């Protein structure tokens, strides 16, 4: 089984949506891929309520994706997470490249950066739509190329 790791700042909104959507697509297609997600700076989300953003959970439900109970709390990325992953996607280059370079300078080249802003830059509905398109395109690319 190959692994994708989605990264965002707090592992509360963007990376969680990407992880759940990717895993839904992989299960449906019986593809040999599995996704996980982590945060690069979970401490910045100290004011977040609950284990996942409500708009993330609602957007997943709108797509027929239900989260397994209990819903896990955000988790901080480790070096091992990065080393285990076959593909790594950080969801916003401007925000996440400096964190990746600071935390894991030797693994920076392994990370692909997308351009999905956090809620202070991009409204959640727009961000969800962007991630939906990007994850679906990414999944199609992975599953249409030889493994």
Where in the chain are the domains?
Answer: 2-144
| Segment 87-102 mean pLDDT | 97
Q: What is the pTM of this model?
A: 0.94
Which has the higher per-residue pLDDT, 145 or 68? 68
Task: Categorize the per-residue pLDDT at 76 as very low, low, confident or very high, splitting at 50, 70 and 90.
Answer: very high
The yes-or-no verdict on residue 147 having pLDDT over 60 is no
- Cis, peptide link before residue 70, omega less than 30° from 0: yes
3-state secondary structure (DSSP) of residue 4: strand
Give the pLDDT score at 22: 98
The yes-or-no verdict on residue 55 having pLDDT over 60 is yes
Task: Categorize the per-residue pLDDT at 67 as very low, low, confident or very high, splitting at 50, 70 and 90.
Answer: confident
Taking the domain 2-144, which CATH number applies?
3.40.50.2300
């Amino acid at each position: 089984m190959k692994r994708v790791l989605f990264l965002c700042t707090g592992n509360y909104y963007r990376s969680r949506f990407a992880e759940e959507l990717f895993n839904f697509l992989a299960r449906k297609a019986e593809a040999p891929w599995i996704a996980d997600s982590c945060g690069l700076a979970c401490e910045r989300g100290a004011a977040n309520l609950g284990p996942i953003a409500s708009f993330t959970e609602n957007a997943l439900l709108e797509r027929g994706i239900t989260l397994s109970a209990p819903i896990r709390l955000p988790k901080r990325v480790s070096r091992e997470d990065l080393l285990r992953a076959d593909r790594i996607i950080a969801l916003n280059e401007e925000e996440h490249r400096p964190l990746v370079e600071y935390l894991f300078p030797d693994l920076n080249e392994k990370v692909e950066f997308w351009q999905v802003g956090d809620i202070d830059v991009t409204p959640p509905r727009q961000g969800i739509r962007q991630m939906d398109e990007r994850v679906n395109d990414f999944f199609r690319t992975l599953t249409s190329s030889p493994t």
